[in-house]
Structure 1
Amino acid sequence: MSSVIHINPSLRKAAEILGEARKGMGLDEFPFETRLSMRPLVNKWMSDFKDREDQLKILYNEIKSYTDEHPSILKAYTDVGSLVKDHHPIIHLLLSSVFPVSLSENMYGYAAGPFMMEPFYITTALQNLLADATAELKFELFSEIDKIPYSIRACLIILEKYYKIPLDQVLPLLFSLQYEDTDMERFFKTTSMLDFLEVKTHGPAPEIGNEKLDFLLRNLNDADLWLETFSPDIFYFEGFYLAFMNDVTEVETLSRLRKLLLTSDSFQDYDTARMVANLTRVYLSMFDVEVGIFAIDYPFDKSLSHRYNMQYPIIDNHLENLFSAKNDNIYIRACKENKIQIISNLEQLDNPSSIELNFLAKGYKSLMVVPLRDHNKKVIGIIELAAPDPYVFTYVKRLKLKEILPLYDVAVEDSRNTVDNRIQNIIQEQFTNIHPSVLWKFSETAFNYLNRESNNDEIRMIEPVHFNNVYPIYGQIDINSSTTIRNDAVKKDLSKNLYLVSEILEEAYQQTRFHLLKKLAFEVSVASANLSEEFDINQETAVNNLLAEEINPVLKDIRIQYPDLKERIDGYFSAMDPDLEIVYEARKNYEYSLNKVNNTISRHLEEQELNNQKIIPHYFEKYKTDGIEYTMYVGQSLLQKETFNLHQLYNLRLWQLYSMVEIYRQLEKVRPGLPTDMTVSFLVLVFNHPLNITFRMEEKRFDVDTSYFARYEILKKRIDKACLAGRKERLTQKDKLVIVYLNDKDREEYLDYLQFLIDESLLESEIEEVEVERVQGIQGIKALRANFKS
C-alpha cells in the first residue's frame, strides 16, 4: 500500500533513489529557504469537505479531530524526518484526496517538500518499481528548458504565485530507470502539482515592471541576475508539491531511436549499433531478446565491399555461409520474399538448416528475421531477433516493429552511402580515375583501409593493388610520319608569316625612318634564311617569340603613332590567328586532321569496348598521341564474380584484328575530307605469357612486375620504330596490319586468324613473314604483315 517514509527499509531505499535523482538536477545547491508544511492541504480539507455528506465527511471529521489535538501539524518543518516522526499516521489520510487508495497500485507518484531532495510520501506502484537494490534513477535533459538552473525555476514560481504573472513554468522532467548488469531501461516523464506550494517573504518584496520582466525573461541562464532581483533573503517557500510519473518508455525510446538512426554513420561503430539494438529491445518490451544488425547485398555479393563495416550479428562467424546456394534457411526466405520471417519454435523444425541449428545450440528457441530495404526496395540489410523462449514473436510484436522499420531502412542506406562516399574519396585521392572493370578491387582496398583506420591499426598505408596472371592485348594505330607532317605545317606557316611581316616592316620604315623597324626587318630576313635549312622545333619557338614579343608590339605602337599606316598594319593582323596573332593555317589544318583521325579511332574502340565488357569484364586503357594505342588485360584475378577461360582470350584477340580492319575502313572514308592528308599504320603486339600488374601510386597507372615481364613494356614503347632485320625498311607500313610475336605458337594462332580474315575478304591473300631487328637487346622478334583489302 502507499506509505509515509519512516521505518520501512524498502521505502527508505526508494526515497534515497528519488533523492539521488533529484540531486542530479542540481538541487543540492538550492539558494532559497524551504519549509515543509501540511497546512495548505489541511486548509483545503477544512474548506472543501466541511459540508460534504458522503464518506469524505468521515475523513474530514477525523482530520479535524487530529488537527485540533495536534496543532503542530499546521506548522512548518525544515526537515522531512521531524514531520514524519510527529505526524505519520495522518499524512496518508491527508494525501488520500490526491493519491486515492484504489489507484495507488498503478500510480507512480510521490510528495516532497519544496525543492527538497527526498520525498516524505510514495505510492505503492513507485515503491515496487524502485524496490530492486540495483535500480538507478537518472535525471535526463528533456529539452533546452531543462538546462535552466533550478534557482531561476524557483524565481519563475515566485513570479507566478506571488506576482500572479502566468508563465506556465511547471515543466515536465524526464527520468531514466536502469538496473545494474542489464540492458533494461525505462523512461518516466514527471509532472509536478504546485497547488500546495506557497511563496512567502521576509518583509516587503520588490516591484517588477514590464520592462524589468522582459529583461529577465530574455536572460534565463543568468542566475546572478535573477537572484539579485528575487533575493533569497526576502523570498522563501513553504508547503509541499506532488509529483506524478508517467511511463513514456515507448515514446522516448522511439524518439531516441529516430535520433540515432537518422545520423548518417549510425551503424559505423559497435557502441552505436549496440545502443540501437538495446533501444529496439526496450521499444518492443522484450528485454530477453538478442538483436543483431548487419548489411548485405542481395542477391548476395561475395566481395568485401558489401560489408560496409556494418556487421553486428547475434552469432559471430555465421555470415559467411548465410547465403550459400546450398542453404535454405530463414534468411534466404526473408530476402527472396522481401518480408519478415518468423520461426516460433526452433525445436519443432523438421529439417533445420545449419544456421538454425546454431541458434538452437546457443539456447535460442524462437527467431525473427527482418529484411531492410533501400528506396528501390532492394534488400540491403537484416535485423535478426532471437529469444530464449518459444512463441514470443507475436503478431502484435511484428506489427509494432514494422511501424518503425522505415527508420532502420533509411539508417542502413545512409550508412552505406556514407561508406561509399568515403571509399570514392579515397579512390579519387589515391588512385584518380579507375576503369570500371577493376573498380571493385579498388573499393575493397579502400574498404580495408577504412577498416584498419576504424580499428586504430598502426599501419595506415594503402595496400598495393595488383592482379596476377593476366594476359595483355596491345594495339597501336599510328599516323605515319606525323612529326614530318607537323614540321612541314609549321614551316609553311612561319614562312608565310615572315614574308608578310617583312613587307610591312620595310614599308613602315620607309615612311617613318624608325630605325628599330629596320633592325627587326633584318632579323626577319635571317629567320627566313634559317627556315630554308633543316627545320627543328627550336626555330618555331624562336620565330614565334620574335613575332609575339618584339615585332607585334612595335607594329601596334606604330599604328597609333602613324595613322597613315593603320589600314596597312590592320590588314597584316587580319591575316593572323585572332588569338595567337601569328599565321596558324597549316598547323590548324594539321591539328584538325589529327583530331579527326584520333576521334574516329577512339569512337570505334569505345563502342566496341561496351560490348566486349559484356562478354568478359577486363581492364582497358587507351592513350591518344599521334594516333591511338591501347592496352587490355584479361584474366581470372580481374574478375569479381565471373569465371575466366582461354576461349575468352582467343575471342578478344580475334576481335582485335576485326577492329583493325573496321578502323582502317572508317579512316579510308574520312581521309578524302582531311585538309592535311594522313596515312595510318596498324600494329598488334602478341605476348602470350601471363603477367603480374600492380597499380603504381606515383604514376597513377598499372605497370608490369619483375624484369622478365619488363620485355613486354620495352616492346610496347619501341617496336613501332623498329626496322626489319638486315634492312632499313620500317616494320610498320601504310595500309598494312602488322602482328609482332616472340614464339612459334603465337605464329600458328595468328596465321589461323589471318587466314580467316582473308577468307572473309577483309585482307589481301598474301601474308608476309619477316624478322625484326633487336630492340634494346631483345632478339628473336618476328612479325606477320598483311595488306588491308579496299
Structure 2
Amino acid sequence: MELLKIRVPQPVVEALQFRLSFKPFVDYLQKQKQRVPRQAGITSLYDHLIAKFTPFLSLLQPVEEVLITPPLEELLQLIKFSVLPLTDQEDEVPYAIGLPGHLITLFHYSEAFGQLMGQPEDFLPEAALPVIRQDALRSFYQLVLEKCYGVSTGTDFCPFFTFQTNAGNLTRYYRMRIDFRFLEPHLEKQLPPLQPAWLAFAKESRGVPPSGVPPSGTPPGGIVAELPVGLPLEQFTFHGVCLFFIEDITEETALRDLREVFVHLQTEPEGGIYQRFEKGLRDLCGQSDLEIGVTPFLQVNGNYVHHSTYTSRSIFLKYSGLHIDALSKSEVQQMITGLVSDPRPRVSPDLTGASEPAQQLLYGKGFRSLILYPIVVSNQALGMLEIGSVHPAALNGEVLQKVEQAIPMVTELLLYQINQFKARMEGIVHQKFTSLQPSVAWRFTEAAWVYLRQGGEKVSEDESTRVFFPGVYPFYGAIDVRNSSVERNRAIQRDLTRQLRWVGEILQTPGPPDKEEMTQELLTRNQYWESRLDRLWTPEDEVQVTAFLADEVHPCFQGLSEQPAVATRLQPYFNHTDATTGLFYQAYRAYQESLKQINDTVNDYLEQAEKQLRTLYPHYFEKFRTDGLEYNLYIGESIAPWLPFRPDHLRQLRGWQLASIVAMARLTHQLRSALPLPLQTTQLILAHSRPVDIQFRLDERRFDVEGAYSIRYEIIKKRIDKACVKGTQARLTQPDTLALAYTTSQEVNDYLPFINTLQERGELLPSIEFLELEPLQGVSGLKALRLNINYRPLPD
C-alpha cells in the first residue's frame, strides 16, 4: 500500500516533529492486559500481540522517512484488528493509521478512506480553518498536559474537523476524527513550569476562543481567537501512531441545515427558502434528482381553493394541469376528510401497473416511485408533501424514515404559508371593504383628499395625512370567562377518557388469533393513557393521545373490521369520532357552545348599549372577542371639533360604563342554568382620568396610543387582568364581582356616585373592598375596589 499524504493549510505549529513508534501502542496493550481477568484466551491474545511488536520497540523513524515494508504493513494490520470491532473490518469503513502534521501521512488506510480523501487540497472550507486549527492546537495542549504534567483536562484529546463532497447537486458531509491515544510527547529539555493559562485553554469547549468573545472580523463558519503562547510545542517530538476515522454526518447536517432554513422564514424571500429546503431534503435522502412538492391546503369560508402562488409546486397539480377549485365541493371535502381520518404517508416504490388515476397520470409523466405525506395537525389538514423519482424503488420505507425527521419543518412551512395567505386575505378585506366608524370617518376623508390632491400614491406621509386625535379620554372594560383554558382542557380530557374506554372495550373483544399480539400491545398502551388521564393532564398529552388514536388504534381497527364480533362495535365507534355529532367530542362541544352563548349574549348587549351611547357624543369604539369580550372607547373634542365637549359627558359615560358591565354580568349569570357547561365570568373596568393621544397606524390599520404617558396607560390595560391583590396570589378579578382598577383617588371618586346608585337599585351589594395591587411589570402603585354583584331579581 502506498503512502497517502494530505496537505493541511495553516499548520497548528510550524516544524512540529513526529516519529513513527509502536511503543505507545505496546504500552496500551500492557495496560489492557493487566485490566482483564486472568483468562488464558484473552491474556494469550495480548501476549501474542506484544510479542509481534517487541522486536520493533526501538523503531523511531521520522514520518517523512517511513517506507511501507511487508513487516510494517503486517504490524499496521495488527493495530487495525486490535482496535476496530470485527464488524468494522470491511473496506467500506473509512479508517486509516498514520501521523498528523503539515502533511497528514497515512501508512495504512481502507479503500473507502482513500476514495474520500482523494479530494483537492482545498476540501476544507476556508472559513472553518481558524476553528479547525484552534481545536487541533487545544488537543495537543491536552495531550502534553496529561502525558507530561500528569494533569487531566477531563476530555479526550481527539481533534476532529468536518468536510464535504459534492457530486452534481448532491452534497455529502463527513467528520474526520483523529485518535491521539497512541501518541506520546517527548522533550529532551526540562519541562517548563505549568501555566494556568495553558490549562484554561485546554479545558475550553471546541470552537470557543480563550476570551469567550469572538473578535470583530470573524469570518462566517468559525470563531477566530488569539492562540495562547508559552507552551513550546515545537520543542516536543511526538512518538507513536494515530488512528483516523471518517463518519458520514450527512443526515444530521442536512437536518440541521433544514432547521436553519426555517429560522429565516420571516426575513428571507420564500423562493430562496424553498430552494434551500429542496436542497436539504435531497441531501437528507441522498438522491439529487428527486422532485419535491409542498402544497398548503388553503381555505376561503371553509372551501378549499387553488392559488398558483401556493400550489404551483405541487407535483400532481403541476403535471395534471388540474386546479383544486375545478373539483366539486363534495369531491374536495371527501378528499380532505379522507386525509384527516387516515393521515398515514403513502409510499409507492413502483408505479408500474398503478391502479389509482393520479398514480397512472404521474407514471405517464415519467415518475416511477412516489411518496405522498399528508400533514394533519389536530384533525386539521394543513397540506401535502410530495416526493417523486424517475427511478423505480428509489423511494421506499428507508427513505420515508429519513423524510419523517423533516416533517416538523414541513409543518412549519405549511403553517407559515397558510398564515401568510390569511394575512393577505385580511389585508385585502381591510384595504378594500372595511367600513370606518362615522365618528372618525371625516378625518380619513380629509387625509384621502390630501393624497388625491397632491398626487395619490406618490405622496409621502406628513402631518396633513396623519390621522391623529389628541387629548381623548379612554374607557376600557372587559368581561372574561373564568379559567377558560382550564375548562377547555378539562373538556378535552373528559372526551379523550371516554374514547379510550371505548377503545379498551373493543380491544378486549375476541378477535382473530393472528391479531392477538398486536391488540394486546395496544390494549396495554391504551390502559396506560387511561390511567395517566385520570391522574395527570398536560397539553402535550392531548397531542400524544390524539396521535396514538389516529396513527395506531384506527389503522388496527380498520384491519379488524372484517371480524363480525368486532365489526358491530366499530361502526358506532367511528360514528362517535365525528366532531359535530360524535360522543367523543361531547364535552368539548359543550364548552364551545357555552363560550359562544356567553360571547353572543355579551356582544349583543354591548352593541345595543353602544348604539344608545352615540346620542351622547361622537366617540370611537372598538371591541375584541377573546375568551370573553373587551372594549376600548375614546371620547373628546378632537373627535368632533364642531361640538363642544363638557365634563358632564365624562360623568354620563362613567355611569353608562358601570351600569352596562353590571347588566352584562347579570345576563351571563342568568344564562348559566341554560348552558351545557356552566362557565363563570369576571368583570373589570380600568379607570383613567387623564386624556391620551391616539393615532391611526397605517401598518396595522388600527388606532394606537402615542406619547410616554399614553403608553403607560396601554401597558396597564394589557396587564391588569393578571393583577393580584397585594400580599396574596389571588387574582383581582373574581366571579360574581366587578373589579375597578385605578391609580389616583380622584379616579375612583368619579365612579362612587354611580356605585351608590346601583347599590340603592339592588344591582350591587352594599359591601366594597378597597385593595392594593401587586406591582405589574413596568407598573406599580395600582389600587382597586371590588364590588359584589347582586343576581337576585330586581323589584319592579
Report TM bin, short chain: 0.3 to 0.5
Q: Quick check: which has more Rg, 1 or 2?
A: 1
**TM-score scaled by structure 2?**
0.43
